[in-house]
Structures are given as structure tokens and as C-alpha cells.
Amino acid sequence: MSAVPRLALRGITRRYPGVVANDGVSLEVGAGEIHAILGENGAGKSTLVKIIAGAVAPDAGTIEFDGRPVASADPAAARAIGVAMVYQHFSLFDSLTVAENIALGLDRRLARGELAAAIRAAGERYGMRIDPQAHVHDLSMGERQRVEIVRALLAQPRLLILDEPTSVLTPQAAEALFATLRQLASEGVSVLFISHKLDEIRRLASRCTVMRSGRVVAVVDPRSESEQSLARLMIGGQPPQIAAHDTAPGRARLLVDGLRLSEGGEALSFEVRSGEIVGIAGISGNGQNALMALLAGERASPAASIRLDGQPVGALGPRRRRALGLRYVPEERIGHGAVPELSLVDNALLTVDRLQQRGFVRAAAAAAYAGEVVHRFDVRCAGTHARAGSLSGGNLQKYLVGREVLAEPSVLLVNQPTWGVDVGAAAAIRNSLVALRTRGCAVLVVSEEIDELFELADRLMVMAGGRLSPAVAAHGLPVDELGRWMAGRWPTAQQ
Amino acid sequence: MRLPATRLALVPRGSPSLLWTWASPLLALGLTVACGMLLFGLLGKSPWQAVSMFFVEPLASKRGVAEVLLKATPLALCAVGLSLAFRANVWNIGAEGQLIAGSIAAAAVALAGAGSGGWLVVAAIVAAAAGGMAWASVTAWLRDRFNANEILVSLMLVYVAQLLLSYVVHGPMKDPAGFGFPQSPMFDRAARLPLLLDGTRLHVGSLLALAAAAAAWLVLARSVIGFQLRVAGLAPRAARYAGFSSRRVLWTTLLVSGALAGIAGGAEVAGPMGQLTPSVSPGYGFAAIIVAFVGRLHPVGAVAASILMALFYIGGELSQSRLGMPSSLTGVYQGLLLLFLLGADTLIVNRLRLRAAAA
């Protein structure tokens, strides 16, 4: 590593209303170094790379590139000095060819033939062969990512940033990507790699900055750490606060028996009983969303693989399951749990089926229901006719949780209940879940926040790689152990 | 590099502007009129004649107004149906084909029932609705069963319908006493729509269009299926979360828009034409796409926009017959209106601002 780092961040701070996304973050990446940033959802990783790429201005702090200060919040300037970014969500036009897509993303103009030759040459050199004339809609996810990376490489970057690059890749494609990244590093390109997959970071990176709640908590050499120790750094090692749960759980209301997330996937079995909260911990992207979609009825499964109060419901749609008492708060508020363009009243109609009668909307009843949710759950808004999209994240989440809780479900599924929500709203949401549990509801919570799960859950399971660990009493699982489970290594029944 | 001291910039608004949702079509209309005047000037006519031909002359007499409403009728019928479909993100581009299918079905009933008297016209209009629906159902089925793109399928079925129309007027429905012209015999009195105003061609089909708009408004504002199709268009994942059936939305919107386009075709042959000819529609089904967007995908807006579009049709004809202007003028104006509308619509979610440029 040369004396002057390729990239040096000092004291970067960025505040958003209600949250400090980056709090005095310092980071150095040397020339030819592969540097990983590890952290939970909401730890501030994405904000940080947006600041480096010039998409977001920091409130305080300095950025230096090769020892020279860089003007912030200027994406073109960042590109000009050699920063290239590969985003998690592809920004490609399906109907255009590879070459056309790449031409759109380049700052300089190249003749058509020249560009195709450059794409082929870069592809040969880095083992990322791609046909410049292929249409993007014909490409697999891995090939689309190659297009993004080749586009970044054609800009001859000196710092390549990849945001969760393997989230859409098969293991083989990920391995090929790592080979390319190692080759780039050996040629002197610095690579900044954002991930929450512990094994990848250990295989690929020579340094790892661990972030938690907007702060850097550690800078380590991941090759000399274990997955367990990395997980502990990521989630924090403080003894968790365990809420006192005095109700004894009752009979099983939600029974999952041999449910598979995909064809050939492992069969999952567990139960959630009346009067308990079961938490599913784990790093997101390990099958939690697929599991929730199956449980809520957005995807169908064999009828007997999911039972509600004994009745097989696997083949029923969401509406029929709601009629039987099962309700769901999805992870994404905008566009999934709520329609942002519609009012809070209209959004109540989405899942509160008794607001309909003989094919018509009961407008007065819907307004009353929405008003009740706003009042009881302290939703700050300009009235029930405000567009859902005009509410802050925390208030909309309170509304969505309130909408389902007010309908008194017998089983409630909640995916990331307080994701991106300010502290006050998060506490209100957790309280309403605990109160619902006390009234006898069976609650299943998926969360990436360990502290939240220890606060809420009576029993815990861990999800990793599409598999579920056995359920254990939440207070019987040390954080150390949890870290190992999150890497997919829990004791199996045979042992 | 030196930039001018200021530049125009589009700045996103926090939430869509209700004012600009409705001001945008008016701005687009103003720009279209201005462009139309310029076009007249370039062609050596007085720019004021453009305004006169398109907005004054057609409305100068009772007969003129009736002709405007007559032309607006099929446009409104098609556009109301398309508004429902487009709101649900179901892109039915083939109203023209559904209109033609409806006109063929109406003609078949009118000709088969010749001499039966009574309520033959009711049967013909019902057949027209069924014909349009059947034509649209091909699109719905292919989309549902094979996930075929409804834009392409519905559009291509327009050409199939046009060829089918050509076949029936040259073959099975050709008037034996028609001196070989490709057209059907004239329908019986009983197969014609009653007139609304004496001395004009305005018929009760216009009332059907108004009724359709009122019904569509009620459906969108108050019914569960109307709510479902709005959600399906705005947020497909939320529709899945709520458990709304995307198939139900697809079939409902295609069948309803097909039926309304079919009625538009049936009302043309059972109304002003009185027979089936190869030129049932001067592109009403396509113009209705523009009408639907100018009308903000709102049934009442569609009625207002259809009257505007009818003025374009009649103004174009007047300019051709009185001033010798090219007949393509109507199409040019339609295109300009849509172009300006799409441009003006950016103001709904953005505001224009003069900015000091970065040095």
C-alpha cells in the first residue's frame, strides 16, 4: 500500500430528519486494496457510498482522493477523478442492446464499432465476456451485472464501488465476480465492497470497516476474523434487554409443516402459539421475504403446509386468509403495504374487507376506520385524506401496523416492523405488538435488528440460506451463539 | 466552460399538483392552437382563419353543434372505456378494432332481422357491444394465458378487424342492388337509432355515451372493482398484497372497454351511416387514446376532451373544403395536442425554476 491512500474520508457526518445516517465516519482505502463495509440494514452504508460517489452532500467532514480534497455532491467530478459505482439495483434499459446501454452511461462519446471493440476487450481481459449486440432483456441477472461492471470498467476507474453486488448472483457467478475483482485489485484499482454476507467478506477483502448506527465500530482484517466474530461486531455485543413476558402461550394458531420456499428447498416447520411473539432473526436476503409472501398468501403453497387454527390455508389467497384472522404488515411501506398516491382512507380499503358491501365501498365506514387508526396509533398527518406518500416513514408505518392491529387478527405477520423508523415511532409500534400478543394474538416478527427481537420475542429462530434454525427461548441464546447461527451453523437435531 | 448566468431547471415537487393536473391539458390546447395558427400562416392563410375554422365555424349553427356532438359520441364511448383500462395499466390500444367488430356485429343483426320491425335497433346495439367485447377478449385471453403483450395484440387485431370488414362488405354483406359498391344494403327504419334533434343527425347514441361516462365515474369513485383497478394501476404489489385478482382486473377492463368501443361502432352504422361501409371509422379508436389522456383518464374529462377532438375533425374537414388545406391537418393537430400534453404533464410532478447556473 502506498503512503497516500487512494480514498480518505475524515469525520463524515450526514443527518436526516430524526436520524444521523453517518456520524463522524472516517475510512481509508489504499491503492489496489479490496475494502469491505459491513453493517446491518440502516447502519449507514448506503449513505456513505452515496457521499463518496457525489450523489449526497455530507453535513460535515472531508473527502480526499490521492491526497487531494474533492468537492462534494458532484457526481460528474467524482467520475472524472476515477470513482465508478455499481448499484444494487440495475439501471439498464431492457429494450436496448448492451452496447447502447453502455454508451448511455459513458461521459465520453465513442464510435459504435469502437465501443463494441472496447466492450469485448474489457470482457476478455477481466473474464466478463458479454455480447455487445445482445439485448438486455435476454440476459440473466448475472449477465446484467456484468454489463454494469463493464460499463464501470470502461470509465477506467481507480476506485470501484459495488453495493451488495452478490445479492442477485448464483454462487458460481459470485465466484467469477470475485476473480475479476481480485484481478482489478492486482492492477492497482481500489475496490470498495458493501455487503452483509460474512463469508464473502472473509474470502475477498483484506480490510473491513464495520458500521453500526451510523458509526464506525471497528476496522479489522476479516481474514483473521471468524464469521461469528464479524457478526458480533456487526450486531453489537451488549447484553440484550429482555422484556418480562408473563403470559403463558396457548395453543398453536399458525402451524407451518414442510413448507418449501422454492422447488427443492429445505422443508421448514414451526409453530406460533396464541399469546406469544416468535422472532425470526437473520441477515436480510436469506429467504425471509419469500417466507412471508408464502405465509401471507401472496404466493401459494401446498394447502396442508400452512395451517391456521388447524385449517389448511396454503392454497388460499390473502383475502381468504384475512377472513380467517391472518394479517400481514410487509417490509416495504410504499407500493406494497400502501399505495402512496391514495389517501389514508383508500389505503384502509386495501386490507379491511368489512369496509366493502355488495361490490361497493362503504365510504363513511372507511373514513371512520382510518380516523380511528390515526387517533389510536397517534399517526401525525394532515388528516385521513392525506396521501399515504405524504407521511413520514415512521408515521406511515404506525398507520399500517395500526390498520392491521385494529382489525384484531388472530395471527399477525410483521416484516421489519421498525425499518427506517425513528426511535419514538419504533417504540410505539413495538408496544402495540406486545399489547396485541397479550390479547392472545400469535405474532411472527421478522427483523434484522437483534435488539428489537430480544425486546419483543418470546422465542427466536434464525434464518440463513433459506433454512430455519430450531426455535429457542429468546433469553436462552447468547449473542455469541446467535452470530454463529446467523452464519448458518446451528446444532441440528441429529447431534 | 462558461454557461449563461441563469438556466431553466425542473425541480421535483413534493407531491403532484392538482392544479396542473387539469391546467396541463389547457396549456397543451393553447400551444396546439398557437402552433395551428403558425401552420396556417406558413401555408399562406390568415392565422385567425385557423381559429375560425376549428373553434367558431363548427359551433355557429344548431346543425354545426349537432355535428360536433355526433362526432364526439364514438370518441367519448371509446375514451371512457380506455380511461378505465389505462388506469389499471391495461394498455388496450385496439379500440379501433373493437369498434369495427362492433359495427360488423350490429350490421349482421340489422340485416338478418330486416323486416322484423320493433326493437331491432336494441338487438343491433347489444350485438355491437358483444362484438367489441369478443374482439377484446382475444387480447385478454392471450395476455392471461400466454402473457402476450396486450399493446401489440390489441393493435394487430385492429388490422385483422379492418380486413374482416373489407371482406364482409365485398362478400357476404354486399348489397346485391348496390352496383358493385363494397357496402351493405341500407338498414330498416327499425334498425336505426332515433334522432334527438330534428333537422340534424344527432341520435340517442350520444345519451349512451353520457350514461357510460356517468356509470364509469360511479364505478371508479364508489365500487370495489373500480378501487381494485386503480390500485392495480398505481401499485401492482399492493394489489397482490391486498389479494386483488389481477386476472379479474385484466378481463373486466378489456371487456368493458371492448364493449364500449363496440357500441361506438354499432351506433355509427345504426346512426348516421345506416349501412356498413369500409369507412366506418376515421380512426376514432386511435383518437380516443389521445382523448382519454387529455381527459385525465377521468370519465367526465373524456367527454369534454371528445368534444374538443370532434372540433379538430370538423375543423379539418372545413379547412379542406373551404380553404383547400390538406386533409392531414386533423391528424397533425391531434398529434400536436398529444405531444404538448405529454410535455406539459411534466409540470404536474415538477416545477419550472430559473436557477443561477453553476460556474
- Nearest chain A residue to B221 by CA distance is A361
Mutation target to probe the A interface, by most A beta carbons within 10 A, among B241, B248, B296, B297 is B241
* ipTM score: 0.82
Within A221-362, strands assigned E span: 252-260, 267-273, 277-281, 306-308, 311-312, 326-329, 356-357, 360-361
Average pLDDT over chain A, rounded to an integer: 86
Q: Min CA distance, B284 vs chain A (Å)?
A: 30
Question: Could you tell me which residues are beta bridge partners of residue A322?
Answer: none
pLDDT for residue A481: 80
Which member of B15, B223, B235 has the closest CB to residue A390? B15
The answer to whether A45 and A58 have CB atoms below 8 angstroms apart is no
The answer to whether A465 and A493 have CB atoms below 8 angstroms apart is no
Mean pLDDT score, A46-57: 87
How many CB atoms within 10 Å of residue B100?
Answer: 33
pLDDT for residue B356: 57
CB distance B224–A356 less than 8 Å? yes
Inter-chain contacts counted by CB atoms under 8 A, chains A and B: 64
Within A221-355, strands assigned E span: 252-260, 267-273, 277-281, 306-308, 311-312, 326-329
Which member of A297, A330, A356 has the closest CB to residue B243? A297
pLDDT for B298 beyond 90: yes
The number of distinct structural domains making up chain B is 1
With helix as H, strand as E and coil as C, how does chain B read?
CCCCCEEEEEEECCCCCHHHHHHHHHHHHHHHHHHHHHHHHHCCCCHHHHHHHHHHHHHCCHHHHHHHHHHHHHHHHHHHHHHHHHHCCCCCCCHHHHHHHHHHHHHHHHHHCCCCCCCHHHHHHHHHHHHHHHHHHHHHHHHHHHCCCHHHHHHHHHHHHHHHHHHHHHCCCCCCCCCCCCCCCCCCHHHCCCECCCCCCCECHHHHHHHHHHHHHHHHHHEHHHHHHHHHHHCHHHHHHHCCCHHHHHHHHHHHHHHHHHHHHHHHHHHHHCCCCCCCCCCHHHHHHHHHHHCCCCHHHHHHHHHHHHHHHHHHHHHHHHHCCCCCHHHHHHHHHHHHHHHHCHHHHEEEEEEECCC
CB distance B238–A319 less than 8 Å? no
Residue B143 maps to a domain: yes
- Nearest chain A residue to B17 by CA distance is A341
pLDDT for residue A167: 67
Cα end-to-end distance, chain A, whole Å? 46
Q: Min CA distance, B225 vs chain A (Å)?
A: 7
How do strand A60-65 and strand A68-69 relate by DSSP bridges? antiparallel
Structural domains of chain A in order of their starting residue, each with its CATH number: 7-235 (3.40.50.300), 252-334+409-486 (3.40.50.300)
Q: Min CA distance, A111 vs chain B (Å)?
A: 24
Please give the Cα distance from A201 to A230 (Å, whole number): 9
pLDDT for residue A494: 45
CB distance A339–B231 less than 8 Å? yes
The answer to whether A44 and A50 have CB atoms below 8 angstroms apart is no
Q: How confident is the model at residue A242 (pLDDT cuts 50, 70, 90)?
A: very low
pLDDT for residue A244: 52
Residue numbers in B near A342 (CB within 8 A): 230-231, 234
CB distance B234–A320 less than 8 Å? no
Q: How far is CA A246 from CA A212, A265, A471, in A?
A: 32, 37, 19
How do strand A277-281 and strand A459-464 relate by DSSP bridges? parallel
pLDDT for residue A237: 60
Residue B307 maps to a domain: no
Taken as a whole, chain A contains a residue count of 495
Residue numbers in B near A338 (CB within 8 A): 235, 238
For chain B, say whether A387 makes contact (Cβ under 8 Å): yes
The number of CA neighbours under 13 Å toward the Cβ of B203 is: 20
What does the block give as the cell for B341? 400534453
CB distance B242–A351 less than 8 Å? yes
Which member of A336, A360, A363 has the closest CB to residue B238? A336
pLDDT for residue B252: 96
Residue B309 maps to a domain: no
CB distance A389–B15 less than 8 Å? yes
- CA nearest neighbour of A42 among A409, A491, A450, A421: A421
Percent of chain B at pLDDT exceeding 90: 70
pLDDT for B240 beyond 90: yes
- Supply angle C-alpha B294, B93, B257, rounded to 5: 80
pLDDT for residue A247: 61
Please give the Cα distance from A395 to A3 (Å, whole number): 49
CB distance B224–A363 less than 8 Å? no
pLDDT for B1 beyond 60: no
Q: How confident is the model at residue A197 (pLDDT cuts 50, 70, 90)?
A: confident
Over the stretch B3-45, which tens digit does the pLDDT of each residue have?
455 677 777 776 778 888 889 999 999 999 999 899 889 988 8
Three-state DSSP state, A134 = coil
For chain B, say whether A361 makes contact (Cβ under 8 Å): yes
For chain B, say whether A137 makes contact (Cβ under 8 Å): no
Q: Give Cβ neighbours of residue B71 (< 8 Å, ≥ 6 apart).
A: B310, B313, B314
Over the stretch A407-426, which tens digit does the pLDDT of each residue have?
999 999 999 998 767 667 77
Please give the Cα distance from A412 to A327 (Å, whole number): 5
Mean pLDDT score, A12-34: 87
Q: How confident is the model at residue A89 (pLDDT cuts 50, 70, 90)?
A: low
CB distance B241–A350 less than 8 Å? yes
Mean pLDDT score, B160-164: 97
Which member of A340, A342, A360 has the closest CB to residue B224? A360
Backbone angles phi, psi at A252, to 5 degrees: -70, 125
- Nearest chain B residue to A362 by CA distance is B222
CB distance A319–B227 less than 8 Å? no
Q: How far is CA B307 from CA B73, B107, B206, B344, in A?
A: 8, 26, 11, 21
Residues from B in contact with A at Cβ < 8 Å: 14-16, 222-225, 227, 230-231, 234-235, 237-238, 240-243, 245
Q: How confident is the model at residue A240 (pLDDT cuts 50, 70, 90)?
A: very low
Q: Give Cβ neighbours of residue A354 (< 8 Å, ≥ 6 apart).
A: A365
The answer to whether A86 and A163 have CB atoms below 8 angstroms apart is yes
Query: Exposure string (b/e) for A43-81, b if CB count within 10 Å is 16 or more?
Result: bbbbbbbbbbbbebebeebebbbbeeebebeeeeebbeb
The number of CA neighbours under 13 Å toward the Cβ of A456 is: 35
pLDDT for residue A342: 93
Residue B67 maps to a domain: no
CB distance B230–A338 less than 8 Å? no
Q: Side chain identity at A134, as an amino acid letter?
A: A
How do strand A7-16 and strand A19-29 relate by DSSP bridges? antiparallel
Residue B31 maps to a domain: no
Over the stretch A345-383, which tens digit does the pLDDT of each residue have?
999 999 999 999 999 999 999 999 999 999 999 888 888
Percent of chain A at pLDDT exceeding 90: 44
Please give the Cα distance from A195 to A210 (Å, whole number): 10
Residue numbers in A near B241 (CB within 8 A): 296, 298, 318, 328, 330, 336-337, 350-351
Q: Min CA distance, A353 vs chain B (Å)?
A: 9
CB distance B243–A346 less than 8 Å? no
What does the block give as the cell for A256? 407451518
Average pLDDT over chain B, rounded to an integer: 91
pLDDT for B199 beyond 70: yes
Over the stretch A298-353, which tens digit does the pLDDT of each residue have?
999 999 999 999 999 999 999 999 999 999 999 989 899 999 999 999 999 999 99
For chain B, say whether A54 makes contact (Cβ under 8 Å): no
Please give the Cα distance from A196 to A222 (Å, whole number): 13
What does the block give as the cell for A23? 456520524
CB distance A389–B240 less than 8 Å? no
The reported pTM is 0.73
pLDDT for residue A1: 44
What does the block give as the cell for B324? 383547400
Residue B275 maps to a domain: yes
CB distance A338–B238 less than 8 Å? yes
> Inter-axis angle of helices B299-323 and B205-222, to 10 degrees?
150
Residue numbers in B near A390 (CB within 8 A): 14-15
CB distance A298–B15 less than 8 Å? no
What does the block give as the cell for B290? 389521445
Residue listed under C-alpha cell 435488528: A449
For chain B, say whether A17 makes contact (Cβ under 8 Å): no
CB distance B241–A318 less than 8 Å? yes
Q: How confident is the model at residue A15 (pLDDT cuts 50, 70, 90)?
A: confident
Three-state DSSP state, A287 = coil
Greater pLDDT, A71 or B270: B270
For chain B, say whether A354 makes contact (Cβ under 8 Å): no
pLDDT for residue A208: 94
pLDDT for A474 beyond 90: no
| Chain A residues 297-336 within an 8 A CB cutoff of chain B | 297-298, 317-320, 322, 328, 330, 332, 335-336
The answer to whether A321 and A254 have CB atoms below 8 angstroms apart is no
How many CB atoms within 10 Å of residue A240?
Answer: 20
Residue B208 maps to a domain: yes
Mean pLDDT score, B266-284: 94
CB distance B238–A350 less than 8 Å? yes
Residue B344 maps to a domain: no
pLDDT for residue A96: 86
For chain B, say whether A246 makes contact (Cβ under 8 Å): no
Domain limits at B153?
73-300
